[in-house]
Structure 1
Amino acid sequence: MRFKDKVVLVTGATRNTGVSIAALFIREGAKVCINGCTEKGLQKGASELNRAGLKNFDQFIGDISDIVQVEKMFQLIKEKYGRLDILVNNAANQGVGMKFDTMKPDDFLQVLKVNLLGTFQVSQQAVRIMVEQKSKGTIINLGSNVSKRAIHDRIAYVTSKGGIDALTKAMATDLGSKGIRVNMVAPGYIYTDRWDELSPEVKKRRRSNIPLGSEASGEDISQAVAFLASDAAKNITGERLVVDGGCSAQHLPLDIDL
């Protein structure tokens, strides 16, 4: 087991990719802290883990955009475990359907408060625990391939993920001397429960425009996160690992590039 007895915090572990990441670390021997911003969401994530027969986790509620809630969460984690080995910054506001010319400034700001400020706040609290340990720790941020190739009507989300790119590099630069590694996984399409609402035609078109022919699973993203968290990546920091089936490599999608 790669992570036996390691203490891991996964933010936004209430559904989809966050639950998959938490599940992988539990299966690999870690003591996992799952976070969600609401009790209902947190219970949903816990139920999925329980149904999979996974028990070695604790629940910590907290809105990562609220520093008071973040500080309280970390106080509880420190009291419970006394350490933190791995932080996975997965929580995100998707900012779906926000059009540039009609969205309100407060809506734009709320996405940045969760995705960018929240990642910073959680990471800062994690580092304050990690630096006190003999074996420091590692942080993995969840970015997106849209930070390099923007998509329509997601301007706040795209902007926030561009910030995560820069934040990851800056954190890696500042924290390397403290023995803390910081990297990022940048997914493209991931099969989530939102895909269940798509028509077969839309799914087919999306997949036809992915060079490998299929979207990522939660397990695909989890394995990338686990690699960067593991000793196999002990000399890697400040990097952006793209997991998007080759979408970022191509100039034009297949249905245009003919």
Structure 2
Amino acid sequence: MALLKVLLLLLGLGVSVNFAVSLQKRIIGGHNCADTERQYHVRLEVTNGQTTTICGGSLIHPKWILTADTCWKTETGWFTRAIIKVHPRTAILGIFDIQGGPVVYNPDGWRHDIILLKLQRQVNDVPLAQLPDCTYRLKKDDIVQLAGEGATTTGPNNLHLSNVAPATHLQCVDMKVVEAHNFLLPYGRLFSASAPNKDVCYGDAGSAAVFNGKIYGVISPGVPVSACEQPVLIMDVCEYIGWIRARTGLK
């Protein structure tokens, strides 16, 4: 299963920083995130010295990032670093190294598409993302806010592109939950969301899905070939909340 996730990542779940600009229409249907929200958003840059891909993540603890397993390269020669304060753009970026490898969730003998990354040093000046109140579970038709720095353009025939510039400003988009509870290999425990003419794109994997100001989901890949074609797959954080708290020490 881990190999399948790696193959998905190689197909473009990150965004190359060596990009060619597309002049096609904007398709995400979102808007610039307010400067006062999502300051916990993290850009994960994964590089082997020649190729660099990006994913999103969320700082949930001064030393812990919550993201998607798809965002971690398992092959030798790849290095991952976390870029803090990518939003708002007026902030001074901070570059942090990851301590060791990811903490994975694999009680079933395969890795679910959710991981924790521990930073080598503590972040002291960034508001932390709030974990969900799982006494309330998402229901169909609830509205969640997704965000990311992935591409906001499409190619011919509305095809997703994997090699365009990251968004110049963190993008937010509202979507309606269309399926509240699901289990899908090779991802894990999910919910899905959709909205007319709105979508996530390559590079948005790992970013947070927010409800009532709290992280209820982590965007999983599952990006179809064409934009706005299928609901977005989102890892259900409440299904993993015990594991997250136990590994990070969060109450």
Q: Under a length normalisation based on structure 1, what TM-score does the superposition of the two structures give?
A: 0.28
Considering fraction of residues, name the structure with more helix: 1
Q: Which of structures 1 and 2 has the larger relative contact order (alpha carbons within 8 angstroms, sep 6+)?
A: 2
Structure with the greater alpha carbon radius of gyration: 1
Q: Under a length normalisation based on structure 2, what TM-score does the superposition of the two structures give?
A: 0.28
Considering fraction of residues, name the structure with more strand: 2
